[in-house]
Structure 1
Amino acid sequence: MMKPLFLVGYMGCGKSTLGRKLARRLGLSYADTDALVEEREGASVSDVFRYEGEQRFREVEREVLDRVIDEGAVPVVSTGGGLPTWSDNMARMNAAGCTVYLRRSAEQIARRLSPYGRRKRPRLQGLNDEELVAFMERDMAVREPFYAQASLVVDCDWLSDEEVVEYILARLKDGA
Structure 2
Amino acid sequence: MKPLFLVGYMGCGKSTLGRKLARRLGVDFIDTDALVEEREGASVADVFRYEGEERFREAERRVLDEVIAGASFAVVSTGGGLPTWRDNMPCMNAVGHTVYLRRSPEQIARRLSPYGRRKRPRLQGLDDEQLVAFMRGDMAAREPFYAQASLVVDCDPMSDDELVEHIVQTFSDRG
Give the aligned residue type for 1:62. R
What is the CA–CA distance in structure 2 between the aligned matches of 1:164 and 1:73, rounded to whole Å?
23
What is the CA–CA distance in structure 2 between the aligned matches of 1:56 and 1:93, rounded to whole Å?
20
1:99 aligns with 2:103: no
Give the aligned residue type for 2:90. A
What is the CA–CA distance in structure 2 between the aligned matches of 1:174 and 1:10, rounded to whole Å?
26
> Cα distance, 1:73 vs. partner?
3.5
Residue equivalent to 1:160: 159
1:81 aligns with 2:80: yes
> Cα distance, 1:175 vs. partner?
1.3
Which 4+ residue blocks in structure 1 deviate beyond 6 angstroms?
A: none
Residue equivalent to 2:13: 14
Give the aligned residue type for 2:146. Y
| Cα RMSD (Å) | 0.8
SS in 2 for 1:110: helix
What is the CA–CA distance in structure 2 between the aligned matches of 1:82 and 1:130, rounded to whole Å?
22
SS in 2 for 1:174: helix
| Unmatched 5+ stretches in structure 1 | none
SS in 1 for 2:174: coil
What is the CA–CA distance in structure 2 between the aligned matches of 1:76 and 1:159, rounded to whole Å?
20
Q: Do the aligned partners of 1:68 and 1:74 also contact (CA within 8 Å) in 2?
A: no
* Equivalences, count: 175
Give the aligned residue type for 1:95. A
Residue equivalent to 1:4: 3
Q: Do the aligned partners of 1:30 and 1:74 also contact (CA within 8 Å) in 2?
A: no
> Cα distance, 1:72 vs. partner?
1.9
TM-score (norm 2): 0.99
What is the CA–CA distance in structure 2 between the aligned matches of 1:34 and 1:52, rounded to whole Å?
16
In the TM superposition, 1:27-106 aligns within 5 A as 27-73=26-72, 75-106=74-105
1:148 aligns with 2:147: yes
1:116 aligns with 2:119: no
What is the CA–CA distance in structure 2 between the aligned matches of 1:174 and 1:73, rounded to whole Å?
21
